[in-house]
Chain A
């Protein structure tokens, strides 16, 4: 698994780098961004994985969210993978912005023609952590995950499907109940087939109901003026209700006036980094 450095820029004392590698899970060349804080020069640091939303690449987060200062201060290595396989030449993968390229939905596809490449769940939970642990000064015992929108959904399911694997999880405007929203139905139908019972294995609200109760502190920020919220794509209330019932600790903050953009993310990114640092640096 040779890593090819695409770029490296000094940022808040650390380095923001982008690498390219040949992914086994995805059968294609994949890029990921990794921020190495100054502390990583001398010791192993915790790893925090960021999963981006629909249409994004590894670039959106590193150029727009402004996470670097907080990550530098707390000494966190932040890894931001791409959102789907690229250049697999699957028919229809570029037809829409909410399916195929840029819309991997962090599931392992079981349906043709997607199932050979679209294995983003295994990629972000297995292959990428192994690659990072092997090549960068990170502590494999300390990792957390967070994301935005589709990436928020990805972060939640990664944490809920792997109790204890992630120290903490947080999300910006996550797709909380994809089984019940248009985006989810389209993606899960495409990647997982028509059997809706298989969808539930990638649905945060459903996963919470069977979550075994290992300590997990979930922070969710949601813009109140988010058009996808009012469109019923995100459905946080369902997730909160499930968490309340199962006594899974969530702090859900409905932020007055904010939308779905990276401006919203940039506003609260520091809170989220701190949330993770609290558990990663405990």
Chain B
């Protein structure tokens, strides 16, 4: 730092570590330091630092220590005016740093404000949540923005240091030292060139930066996650509130309605009772008046003349008798006390109860099958509910779809699950199942969802290992489907068995429509091959593996072409003609099977490269070996037409005769040593077919042929004996000359 360089060069060693660590200070105590130094506000500085230790950035504790140290040094100098001057004409890199400070400080403040606001809002149990969540987002954006600014700052001091080439770095003191000064106190210390120290310091810094960056990303992810949780919780509570409110209002309404009804009923009853009582009172009064009147009349009568009295008395007696005959009702017609006024709150209670209950869910929506989600015996069924619904469990039902048995309904299965998905197991492979689901809660079940068809993955295919054909560049792999119903396609997986890593890279050939595939391979490797069958449900398990070696060409004898008198061994590589079989009747002509010529054909991979195989022969046996087109006339001898090229051996009267036959023609060639092993090189590239005595690498003959389509190896035995085919052998070097 140039400030020190100008002010106190003798202090450089002690101050030096700051050169490597000062940038976080620039970051964390931005404007404070500007004020701090001139105003001798040591305490404030400490506060600022203390605040910063609470920051999530983590680098602060180290800086606190250093900053204090720095301050101690600064104040040991004790001259504030020097610093003022220094700041005025400060070097340009510093200016750059200063310029950024307000921005960064602002960001810092916003961040803490945001955090505070958020904390406050949390206290309010999430009311008005959008605001805090926005703050949250902003806070993170700021923190991220700030992180990028940090990096700009990192770069600047490094450039400064390049000027100090005369320095070395004392590792023990962790301080740069003038090369001349090494003699003194650093004599015993480990010293490295400054540039090296700088490098390692830079590395350290970059490592830390990288760590921080990672931490930032993690924190951002975490914040995003929190945000999502926040929103979900908010929504859920909002919904519940609404729910509660509506229920509450309903209950209140019901209650007030009940109140009205009751009040009205009571009023009516009151009125009726009072009216009755009043009527009784009135009639009672009337009676009383009548009685009084009668009394008065009687009294008046008693004061009358006798004649009048008698006269009136009779009338009075009549009237009295009449009056007394009318009963005087003294019973209180209306019950004065209250009847049992029990209020019926059952419906209210039900309403109250239903605040916690919920409506029965609506029918769930069952998802279509996710591709590649099924196995051979299971499918994973998924569905979804309407967001307003509350569901306690689901009833998942299914039945296999069998179009073959229309009369009989297939068995249905049902299971109860809590989740919105279910892995249904123990199913049949490569089969379609119909699924539907109902949701249910305390209140009741939903209607059933639509029916959706899911399909289990197929059974693994079975590779026909005996029919595999291969050469150095490719292999033809055949398999049986392993499934009764058709599947969509097959995948062939290849693992190079001898790769250094045991895991091995797996290469896949996908979308194969038929039960065979010609795959390109690398020469002289060993491959493990698997096949999977695929349908819309997914891939089957791997088939049993087969191993393919791409050394030489490999083929097997084709039994369909085999003359009945010949027997092919178990491994498909030895052909035998036994003595007794020759007496059997000649078979009928055929297009695929040799009928007259006692021959058999091999299945050679249809690849236009070079193929080499060997045939072990008995010197005394009559045989023919060579190649022929697949459609060679099966009644002809090999070499007797233009569709086959052969080497024929005849052994008669202890002489060997060798012919190289094509279209009944042979060159006149004599061979002094009878081959026991014949090497055959089929070279499509150069249109040649060569024969060798494999044991002594002797070239016998080469045909130049036009192979307009693929040929197959063929073998015939004109007399009892056997031929043993050797394939899968590397092409000998000498055959490369032909």
- A240 contacts partner chain B, Cβ-Cβ < 8 Å: yes
Least CB distance, B698 to chain A, in whole angstroms: 5
A240 and B738 CA atoms in complex are apart in Å by 24
Residue among A255, A256, A278 making CB contact with B734, cutoff 8 Å: A278
Give a binary string over B671-713; 1 marks a CB under 8 Å from any A CB, 0 the rest.
1110000000000000000000100111111000000000000
- On whether A274 and B696 interact (CB within 8 A), knowing A247-B672, A253-B668, the answer reads no
Least CB distance, B498 to chain A, in whole angstroms: 28
Residue among A248, A253, A282 making CB contact with B669, cutoff 8 Å: A253
Contacts of B672 in A (CB 8 A): 240, 243-244, 247-250, 252
Least CB distance, A214 to chain B, in whole angstroms: 12
CB within 8 Å of A: which of B364-405? none
Contacts of A251 in B (CB 8 A): 669-671, 698-701
Question: B668 touching A224 by the CB < 8 A rule?
Answer: yes
Contacts of B701 in A (CB 8 A): 251
Question: B669 touching A254 by the CB < 8 A rule?
Answer: yes
CB within 8 Å of B: which of A230-275? 240, 243-244, 247-256, 274-275
- A277 contacts partner chain B, Cβ-Cβ < 8 Å: yes
A219 and B279 CA atoms in complex are apart in Å by 156
- On whether A247 and B668 interact (CB within 8 A), knowing A217-B698, A274-B737, A274-B738, the answer reads no
- B667 contacts partner chain A, Cβ-Cβ < 8 Å: yes
A277 and B736 CA atoms in complex are apart in Å by 11
Least CB distance, B117 to chain A, in whole angstroms: 83
Contacts of A247 in B (CB 8 A): 672-673
By beta carbon, the residue of chain B nearest A215 is B696
Give a binary string over B703-737; 1 marks a CB under 8 Å from any A CB, 0 the rest.
00000000000000000000000000000011001
By beta carbon, the residue of chain A nearest B673 is A249
- On whether A254 and B668 interact (CB within 8 A), knowing A249-B693, A274-B738, A278-B699, the answer reads yes
A262 and B540 CA atoms in complex are apart in Å by 70
A18 and B681 CA atoms in complex are apart in Å by 40
A219 and B701 CA atoms in complex are apart in Å by 11
Contacts of A250 in B (CB 8 A): 670-673
By beta carbon, the residue of chain B nearest A242 is B672
Least CB distance, A123 to chain B, in whole angstroms: 30
CB within 8 Å of A: which of B469-515? none
Question: B699 touching A275 by the CB < 8 A rule?
Answer: yes
Give a binary string over B230-256; 1 marks a CB under 8 Å from any A CB, 0 the rest.
000000000000000000000000000
A249 and B699 CA atoms in complex are apart in Å by 10
Give a binary string over B648-678; 1 marks a CB under 8 Å from any A CB, 0 the rest.
0000000000000000000111111100000
The residue in B673, B693, B696 that gathers the most chain A C-beta atoms within 10 A of its C-beta is B673
A253 and B660 CA atoms in complex are apart in Å by 12
Interface size on A, residues (CB 8 A): 22
- On whether A252 and B737 interact (CB within 8 A), knowing A217-B698, A278-B699, the answer reads no
By beta carbon, the residue of chain B nearest A252 is B670
Least CB distance, A187 to chain B, in whole angstroms: 26
Question: B670 touching A217 by the CB < 8 A rule?
Answer: no
Least CB distance, A268 to chain B, in whole angstroms: 12
Least CB distance, A69 to chain B, in whole angstroms: 15
Question: B696 touching A249 by the CB < 8 A rule?
Answer: yes
Contacts of A243 in B (CB 8 A): 672-673
Contacts of A249 in B (CB 8 A): 671-673, 693, 696, 698
A217 and B694 CA atoms in complex are apart in Å by 13
- On whether A240 and B734 interact (CB within 8 A), knowing A249-B698, A278-B699, the answer reads no
- On whether A253 and B698 interact (CB within 8 A), knowing A278-B734, A278-B737, the answer reads no
A106 and B322 CA atoms in complex are apart in Å by 191
Contacts of B699 in A (CB 8 A): 219, 251, 275, 278
Least CB distance, A247 to chain B, in whole angstroms: 5
Give a binary string over A209-239; 1 marks a CB under 8 Å from any B CB, 0 the rest.
0000001010100001000000000000000
A167 and B527 CA atoms in complex are apart in Å by 40
Contacts of A252 in B (CB 8 A): 669-672
Question: A282 touching B733 by the CB < 8 A rule?
Answer: yes
A249 and B733 CA atoms in complex are apart in Å by 19
Contacts of A255 in B (CB 8 A): 667-668
A277 and B738 CA atoms in complex are apart in Å by 11
Contacts of B696 in A (CB 8 A): 215, 217, 249
A219 and B673 CA atoms in complex are apart in Å by 12
Least CB distance, A80 to chain B, in whole angstroms: 22
Contacts of A254 in B (CB 8 A): 667-670
Question: B668 touching A277 by the CB < 8 A rule?
Answer: no
Contacts of B737 in A (CB 8 A): 274, 277-278
CB within 8 Å of B: which of A114-151? none
A175 and B671 CA atoms in complex are apart in Å by 18
Contacts of B734 in A (CB 8 A): 278, 282
Least CB distance, A206 to chain B, in whole angstroms: 16
By beta carbon, the residue of chain B nearest A275 is B699
Contacts of A275 in B (CB 8 A): 699
A222 and B737 CA atoms in complex are apart in Å by 22
Contacts of B669 in A (CB 8 A): 251-254
Least CB distance, A122 to chain B, in whole angstroms: 29
Contacts of B673 in A (CB 8 A): 243-244, 247-250
CB within 8 Å of A: which of B602-647? none
Contacts of B698 in A (CB 8 A): 217, 249, 251
Contacts of A274 in B (CB 8 A): 737-738
The 7 listed contacts between A and B (C-beta, < 8 Å) are A224-B668, A249-B672, A249-B696, A250-B673, A251-B699, A253-B668, A256-B668
Chain A residues proximal to chain B, CB less than 8 Å: 215, 217, 219, 224, 240, 243-244, 247-256, 274-275, 277-278, 282
List the 7 shortest-distance A-B pairs measured between CB atoms, nearest first. Answer: A254-B668, A243-B672, A250-B672, A252-B670, A244-B672, A278-B737, A249-B673
Chain B residues proximal to chain A, CB less than 8 Å: 667-673, 693, 696-701, 733-734, 737-738
Given contacts A240-B670, A251-B669, A251-B670, 8 further A-B contacts (CB under 8 A): A244-B672, A249-B698, A250-B671, A251-B700, A252-B669, A252-B672, A274-B737, A282-B734
